[in-house]
Structure 1
């Protein structure tokens, strides 16, 4: 299977906080694993996910269709709990919460292909606004949901647990919608300052009757797709690749533009990923851009 990943620093960034992981296993229970992690407030959380999230997934992964989505949901939540856990030792609970600090966090999108029941399945899971896009018969299929405060569904989820409805948790600040007037994401790994402390860390929304802090959670949206001979490319990318001017990221590409380039360029995977980055920058993206492409046929 031809695949490659690239990561470029954005023109408006002091350093690249994106990371990615790519593994081609060759085992029926996990044909491949790919992930893209868009960090903010430092690189500690995105680097941790790059290096360790697959190991947390392996703890819960059964390689079966009927449990795949719950397996990866458990893995994401437990990984976030680990990121938020106090440091060990006598003085561990006295420092700043969160791996890399309380304001360090990351989005995450993961794709896993596996065989079950004679079919090849593709599991996609995301927290935040990195995306997984599938090319099927030349048409773009977005397999993930962007978790942003301007999503009405996410806003309602957050405000449903607001203890003070007269002071909305989702507010329009600095030209975009933000949770707590600060974070332009509604779900993320890390970001301890946006999540409640101690026993509430890492829990699913509503499972404790309190949700978590400002409503920022690490519970993923998931999708399970049967791959067919009509599927050509899988693309995972941080939000810098895509058009998101309404949230301050500048220009970028639409899903169908990405798929068209993959299907028409004839380039090998690494050159193709580089071309997508350059096109997004030419379209006005100023954010870090990370792209993983996998040729499925």
Structure 2
């Protein structure tokens, strides 16, 4: 065999070996293409994540629709391995469209919570108990309506003493009270203050009669002093009885009729408004709040401080919004229980008195409240006045009052001599 023949033989062997290698590689590639393991391994990560996300977010379905997540998985997997084949690609597009229409998670319906801000502020637990029913009272010469606010249990109260006291049929006491920090203080004050005031005024009257021949004492000074003493005595009793950890307090606005005069006393932001001369409103109280310059100066002279909260409310020691009240033992150095007292002679033209908690006055003006009651009085039916109290409560809450609202109307014409 010549050299030329040997070379040609060797080249043909190499060519045959190369063809064999190519065939083996083609066979291996075809085998991998048809392998189920290869399909799963080549599934794009975003698609697999999307499948898991759908399964996680989809809400529970009725039993007839439970199989839907399996259909979604099948559509995704069968589409992945056919990306290079036109017919299977079209099948993938149709199945994916069907999945989008059938397998999309339902819209999440999130209920809107009422009073979301208050729940966040920690009022949710206190608002859970069932609220007290609306209170409407029609008594001897007075009418009252009261309703709890949504924030907490009812902390308003009232007191009336209208029976003959010491033989004086013209002596009567009316009061509205607004508690804070629980019911302990407001319950105590509403039970004790009326009797303390009446007893103090009767005692002052007896002393005045005994000393009439020796000393001349102006009637309003003696009665006003007796009322102040009764307020302070009630506060001392409250602090003594609730000295073990009690921190709550109560505001008050009270009216005493005696000897043809009206005495209005108050602590805090309860208010009394007089209607006279055909419906002209006259406020007989000025709110005891830290926004009042005189009250703020008094607190600072006593070593305390007044700061303004983020909501714009001035507070004693950054805590209490009123500067005078019953109780509040921890702030008693600055938060006094000495009331302001006003005397009004009951003459022709004095019509009625509105006494109410700040839940009303925060939303309803003095003259506006008088106008509502006046319209009811003009209806010539006592029940209409009772309805006017409820109307004022409704008005305050419609305008956004979140506080307890208590409204009392006192007929003054029955005391005019």
Q: Is the contact between residue 233 and residue 294 of structure 1 (CA under 8 Å) also seen in structure 2?
A: yes
SS in 2 for 1:256: helix
Deviation for aligned residue 1:270: 2.1
Alignment-derived partner of residue 294 in structure 1: 410
| CA RMSD, Structure 1 to Structure 2 (Å) | 1.7
Whichever structure has more strand as a proportion of its residues is 1
Counterpart for residue 9 of structure 1: 148
- Corresponding residue for residue 170 of structure 1: 306
> Does the Cα contact within 8 Å between 1:173 and 1:182 map onto a contact in 2?
no
Cα deviation 1:46-94 (Å, max 9, x = unaligned):
111111112222332135433111111011111111111267xxxxx7x
Which structure shows the bigger proportion of residues in helix conformation?
2
Residues 31 and 114 in structure 1, CA contact (< 8 A), matched pair in contact too = yes
Is 1:110 matched with 2:254? Answer: yes
Q: Is the 8 A contact 2:161 2:194 kept in 1?
A: no
Partner residue, 1:234: 353
**Structure 1 residue corresponding to 2:388, chosen from 272, 280, 285:** 272
Deviation at 1:14, TM superposition (A): 1.8
Whether the 8 Å contact between 1:2 and 1:269 is mirrored in structure 2 is no
Matched residues in 2 for 1:14 and 1:23: separation? 28
Unpaired runs of 5+ residues, structure 2, are 1-139, 206-218
Larger-gyration structure (1/2): 2
Match of 1:82 in 2: 237
Tell me the secondary structure at the aligned position of residue 268 of structure 1: helix
Matches within 5 A, 1:170-189: 170-175=306-311, 176-189=313-326
Match status 1:284 vs 2:395 = no
Query: In structure 2, the residue corresponding to 1:85 is in which secondary structure?
Result: helix
CA distance in 2, matches of 1:157, 1:133: 26
Residue 160 of structure 2 is matched in structure 1 by 22
Deviations along 1:221-261, one digit per CA (max 9) or x if unpaired, are 01000012211111110000012xxxxxxxx1000001111
Number of aligned residue pairs? 250
Q: Which has the higher contact order (CA 8 A, sep 6+)?
A: 1
Map of 2:174 onto structure 1: 34
The CA deviation at 1:295 is: 2.1
The offset of 1:286, in angstroms, is 1.5
Please give the alpha-carbon distance, in whole angstroms, between the structure 2 residues aligned to 1:4 and 1:141.
20
Q: Does 1:68 align with 2:223?
A: yes
Q: Does the CA contact (< 8 Å) of 1:25 and 1:33 recur in 2? A: no
Structure 1, unpaired ranges of 5+: 88-92, 163-167, 196-211, 244-251
Q: 2:43: which partner in 1?
A: none
Residue 15 of structure 1: SS of its match in structure 2? Answer: coil
Equivalent-residue separation in structure 2 for 1:174 and 1:67 (angstroms): 44
d(CA) in 2 for partners of 1:23 and 1:105?
A: 22
2:188 to 48, 51, 59: 48
TM-score (norm 1): 0.80
Q: Per the alignment, do residues 269 and 2 of structure 1 end up closer, same or farther by CA in structure 2, a change over 3 Å counting?
A: farther
Q: TM-score, normalised by structure 2?
A: 0.57
